[in-house]
Amino acid sequence: MTNHWIDLKNSDCILIMGSNAAENHPISFKYVTQAMQNGAKLISVDPRFTRTSARADFYTALRSGTDIAFLGGMINYILKNNLYNKEYTAAYTNAPFIVGKSYGFKDGLFSGYTKGKPEAGPSLGGYDKSQWAFEMDENKVPMMDRSLENERCVFQLLKKHYSRYTPDMVSKITGTSEADLINVYKTFAETGAKGKAGTIMYAMGWTQHTVGTQIIRTMAIVQLLLGNMGIAGGGVNALRGESNVQGSTDHCLLWHIWPGYLKTPSASKDSLSVYNASATPKSYDSLSANWWQNYPKYSVSLLKSFFGEQATQANDFGYNWLPKVDDGKAYSWFDLFDKMFDEKIKGFFAWGQNPACSGSNAGKIRKALEKLEWMVNVNLFDNETGSFWQGPGVDPTKVKTEVFMLPASVSVEKEGSITNSGRWMQWRYQGPKPMGDSRPDGDIILELGHKIKELYHKDGVLAEPILNLKWDYDTNGAYDPHKVAKEINGYFLKDITIKDKLYKKGTLVPSFAFLQADGSTSSGNWLYCNSYTEKGNMSARRSDKDAVNNIGLYPEFAWCWPVNRRIIYNRASVDPKGQPWDKDQWVIKFEGEQKDGKWVSNKWTGDVPDGGWYPLENPDGSKREDSKYPFIMRKHGHGQIFGPGRADGPFPEHYEPLECPVEKNFLNPQRVNPTAVVYSSSEDSHATCDPRFPFVGTTYRVSEHWQTGLMTRPQPWLMELQPQMFVEMSEELAKLKGIKNGERVKVTSARASVECTAVVTKRFKPFNIGGNLVHQVGVPWHFGWRWPSTGAEESANLLTPPAGDPNTRIPETKAFMVNVIKL
Ligand SMILES: Nc1nc2c(c(=O)[nH]1)N[C@H]1C(S)=C(S)[C@@H](COP(=O)(O)OP(=O)(O)OC[C@H]3O[C@@H](n4cnc5c(=O)[nH]c(N)nc54)[C@H](O)[C@@H]3O)O[C@H]1N2
Ligand SMILES: Nc1nc2c(c(=O)[nH]1)N[C@H]1C(S)=C(S)[C@@H](COP(=O)(O)OP(=O)(O)OC[C@H]3O[C@@H](n4cnc5c(=O)[nH]c(N)nc54)[C@H](O)[C@@H]3O)O[C@H]1N2
Ligand SMILES: [Mo]
């Protein structure tokens, strides 16, 4: 989230689209309800009517996989009706930037496309992004037209791109009526007025698509046009899933991201200087903070944290001990199981996961597990992954994989931190002691590390990376979460004087502004530098005192990255003179003194400002050279309406899901995202516009179950509430197929069939897609054969497709094609 949970209460209009927050993020509704009590409007857009929809002022449906069309129509509406925030758009976004002549868009393709030229792995195609570059002036600064009139400026190109997204066209694609579209657009666009704030709450309904990243980009464009970024009650707010998924992403859950969103090194970056140079953006605009110019300070401090005293300037701080990914190869979830299926991977730690039920096209995953030599299941319980060798259709005598189970203790039995969706790191204490032989995950990892080091000591090949790894996180033989938290924050490794103040060797670094690129500091994650300092463990704070602006920032409750800033990009919440656009619910405010129309002292109040520089302008309107643009993490300091870094284009475009019910995309000749990632082994089939699979399918969660159900399916009282795998469908479809509520049916996709109980409701309605009636059904993905013990309730992921987004490789589990047959 750019904002945070409590801040939802400050909103004037909340759009919940691509999530069912009332059921999956119930705590959020405390603040949604507060906002509504203060007069905010709540809009719910979902293919089916949910408990979130039931609380909304306005609900409408769209066909799964058509969100870019829906939101592209909103951009068109905002621009056509001049509802965008002109001052904000011209001053803070890249709308004025002039795009180079080589950029173009034709027949659904941006310039620079090559079919079948995989950027990484099995992409349908890839782009040469250099064709989307901005025009630069003689000082290498992007050329701009702040009047937004130049025909090659981003604003004009945006207008042209989305002029095709008329209500009529959008309605034809989404199945949403034109009247409903206009109603949503009008209500949300009202937040473009100064002093108004609109927010978006999204989750998996938006991400799990071959165009997932671009759906979110479309909304980010809307929020920039309306001036909703950086302000209270605004922002782009991803509702993260598991309680600590934000924390685990921050600390490098994903293969292509290292702690603090540093880049995973690739083989061609064969020295630290080559790596740092390629990862450090260079701006020639003195008004751009270009915060990532500090990259080498963070990467070197990370290496010092990995390798301690062994990391020296002479050995590139151990850079060459790091594992590198091969250039052009991807190592995502999909790719790992693909390689495992191809027998390229011998051993596998399934740590706190259940891929046999959670991964898209899970049938292939189950087969891949059979090809392993060994597998270790680190979990609270056995699950379909640990027991794959005795699953349905598997002959245990034929499976050679040796499976080990390491019992882990449950979250409440462990001390440590979680970071919630709002980026708040919160310390938690141990409750009961671990049961039986189970051990905290930290202890298991630590001991594993010690044992591996011992083995490498004896006769390790290429042993340096392992032997040089700093591995001193135990106290009295047990994992010490405080040691790890301090390591993540980072230490001074020498006595250093910064701005006349001496920082002693061995003390904790106060914040990332103090980190160095010369090996004199360490930090396991620069973004968390400031969380555990000489003042103590900031995440353990529990003060309920609000900040001066009284908007619910609670700066001394827990700790928030970066540097306890509760709303990021908050420099965009003030005008160029540093005064809030919204006088009542302001985030930060400049309170320096002025003399003769000029600011003469520097003082900000409210939230921690995104950089404490002077405002862009003096009170008399003259520009200040010592200021910075508000979007400090962007190379050019501006919010990106034009996003030239994405794999699939600088502007989002509607493409159909890999499996869709229409033969052609009504908007352009490309049916599927031309850069989508699609797997093609013997187990990876798909079916598009195939009469055998006429209905759109989607997957979702229910309140009563958690994820693949390991922690809920063994509970009799929860099973009483949600006992069976079901398929939800409209009354119209049930009638068409002669199915009655409660009957057992078979749901089939190009991959598999799953038996379900029919749940016939008014929550789904058929869609009118370009004159054709299209039905959609939905299945929960909480089940698996291991529990209930009948083995009859299987995972929805046996049905889901082998395709994903080219930027993130998240699977397209929210839109695919199925059939439903009465048993
Ligand atoms: N009770 C419970 N709570 C949970 C979880 C759980 O398993 N159980 N899991 C947690 C986790 S890890 C996560 S990631 C979050 C996920 O939170 P959510 O994203 O809210 O979860 P889902 O129910 O998967 O999907 C949300 C909605 O997307 C809709 N949808 C389907 N296709 C589309 C589409 O194409 N466009 C749009 N706009 N909407 C679509 C579905 O109908 C569904 O209502 O929930 C967390 N909270
Ligand atoms: N079709 C479809 N598929 C989906 C989704 C969807 O919406 N639709 N959503 C996707 C999403 S958002 C997610 S997050 C993934 C989740 O995918 P997975 O992470 O593979 O699935 P979980 O069921 O969450 O698995 C968590 C496991 O961790 C165990 N566990 C719990 N606590 C601990 C602990 O402290 N230590 C250890 N070692 N183990 C523990 C649980 O028993 C459980 O087996 O699934 C994805 N799959
Ligand atoms: Mo999730």
**What percentage of the chain carries pLDDT values higher than 90?**
98
Measured by CA distance, the residue closest to atom 44 of ligand 1 is 20
CA atoms within 13 A on the CB side of 400: 6
Kindly state the helix (H) or strand (E) to which residue 774 belongs, with its residue range: strand 772-774
Relative to beta strand 13-17, strand 41-45 is parallel
Q: Give the C-alpha separation, 33 to 11, whole Å.
A: 11
Does the CB atom of residue 20 touch ligand 1 within 6 A? yes
| Residue 122: pLDDT band with limits 50, 70, 90 | confident
* Residues 6 or more apart in contact with residue 436 via CB below 8 angstroms: 407
Burial class (CB in 10 A: 0-12, 13-18, 19+), 156: middle
Burial class (CB in 10 A: 0-12, 13-18, 19+), 711: middle
Q: Are 548 and 541 in contact (CB under 8 A)?
A: no
**First-to-final CA distance of the chain:** 45
Does the CB atom of residue 815 touch ligand 2 within 6 A? no
Q: Are 727 and 777 in contact (CB under 8 A)?
A: yes
Measured by CA distance, the residue closest to atom 4 of ligand 2 is 358
Mean pLDDT, range 125-140, rounded to an integer? 97
Which ligand number lies closest to the CA of residue 815? Answer: 1
Q: What is the four-CA torsion angle of 416, 419, 424, 430, rounded to 10 degrees?
A: -20
Q: Give the C-alpha separation, 782 to 756, whole Å.
A: 12
Q: What is the pLDDT of residue 116?
A: 84
Bond preceding residue 788 cis, omega within 30 of 0:
yes
Residues flanking ion ligand 3, Cβ below 5 Å: 241
Q: What is the pLDDT of residue 121?
A: 60
Does the CB atom of residue 701 touch ligand 1 within 6 A? yes
Closest CA to 818 of 736, 740, 729: 729
Q: What is the distance in A from the centroid of ligand 1 to the CA of 275?
A: 38
Ligand 1: which of 1, 24, 208 to mutate, most ligand atoms within 8 Å of CB? 24
State the average pLDDT for the chain. 97
Measured by CA distance, the residue closest to atom 18 of ligand 1 is 19
Ligand 2: which of 353, 388, 754 to mutate, most ligand atoms within 8 Å of CB? 353
Q: What is the distance in A from the centroid of ligand 2 to the CA of 41?
A: 33
Closest CA to 539 of 460, 485, 607, 473: 485
Q: What is the pLDDT of residue 119?
A: 47
Q: What is the distance in A from the centroid of ligand 3 to the CA of 602?
A: 43
| Residue 638: pLDDT band with limits 50, 70, 90 | very high
Does the CB atom of residue 355 touch ligand 2 within 6 A? yes
Bond preceding residue 407 cis, omega within 30 of 0:
no
Q: What is the pLDDT of residue 1?
A: 97
Does the CB atom of residue 383 touch ligand 2 within 6 A? yes
User: Residue 324 has which token pair?
Assistant: 């590198």
* Phi, psi (degrees; rounded to nearest 5) at 570: -70, -10
Q: Give the C-alpha separation, 761 to 805, whole Å.
A: 31
Q: Are 788 and 660 in contact (CB under 8 A)?
A: no
- pLDDT for residue 708 is more than 80: yes
**DSSP string computed for 525-573:** -GGGTTSEETTEEGGG-B--PPPTT-SS--TTBSEETTTT-SSTTGGGG
* Residues 6 or more apart in contact with residue 413 via CB below 8 angstroms: 430, 431, 432, 433, 434, 435, 438, 440
Structural domains for the chain:
256-311+491-528 (no CATH), 333-419+424-478 (3.40.50.740), 677-822 (2.40.40.20)
Q: Give the C-alpha separation, 345 to 473, whole Å.
A: 30
Measured by CA distance, the residue closest to atom 3 of ligand 1 is 24
Facing residues of 590 across strands?
604
* Chain CA centroid to CA 694, Å: 31
- pLDDT for residue 15 is more than 60: yes
Q: Which atom of ligand 2 is nearest to the CA of 355?
A: 20
pLDDT in tens, 600-626: 999 999 999 999 999 999 999 999 999
pLDDT in tens, 203-262: 999 999 999 999 999 999 999 999 999 999 999 999 999 999 999 999 999 999 999 999
Facing residues of 578 across strands?
none
Burial class (CB in 10 A: 0-12, 13-18, 19+), 198: buried
Closest CA to 540 of 619, 485, 612, 601: 485
pLDDT in tens, 382-416: 999 999 999 999 999 999 999 999 999 999 999 99
Does the CB atom of residue 131 touch ligand 2 within 6 A? no
Does the CB atom of residue 815 touch ligand 1 within 6 A? yes
Q: Give the C-alpha separation, 497 to 777, whole Å.
A: 64
Measured by CA distance, the residue closest to atom 26 of ligand 1 is 19
Cβ atoms within 10 Å of 350's Cβ, excluding its own? 19
Residues in the chain: 823
Rg (alpha carbons) of the chain, rounded to whole number: 27
Dihedral of alpha carbons 507, 279, 424, 469, sign: negative
Q: What is the pLDDT of residue 117?
A: 57
Relative to beta strand 536-537, strand 532-533 is antiparallel
Q: Give the C-alpha separation, 237 to 10, whole Å.
A: 14
Q: Are 42 and 14 in contact (CB under 8 A)?
A: yes
Picking from 136-150, 321-335, 747-761, which range would have the lowest pLDDT averaged per residue? Answer: 321-335
Q: Give the C-alpha separation, 711 to 715, whole Å.
A: 8
Ligand 2: which of 707, 711, 777, 798 to mutate, most ligand atoms within 8 Å of CB? 707
pLDDT in tens, 354-364: 999 999 999 99
Does the CB atom of residue 797 touch ligand 2 within 6 A? yes
Q: What is the distance in A from the centroid of ligand 1 to the CA of 739?
A: 26
Cβ atoms within 10 Å of 496's Cβ, excluding its own? 18
Burial class (CB in 10 A: 0-12, 13-18, 19+), 651: buried
Mean pLDDT, range 81-97, rounded to an integer? 98
Does the CB atom of residue 380 touch ligand 2 within 6 A? yes
Q: What is the pLDDT of residue 223?
A: 98
Kindly state the helix (H) or strand (E) to which residue 276 belongs, with its residue range: helix 272-279
User: Residue 587 has which token pair?
Assistant: 């985030």
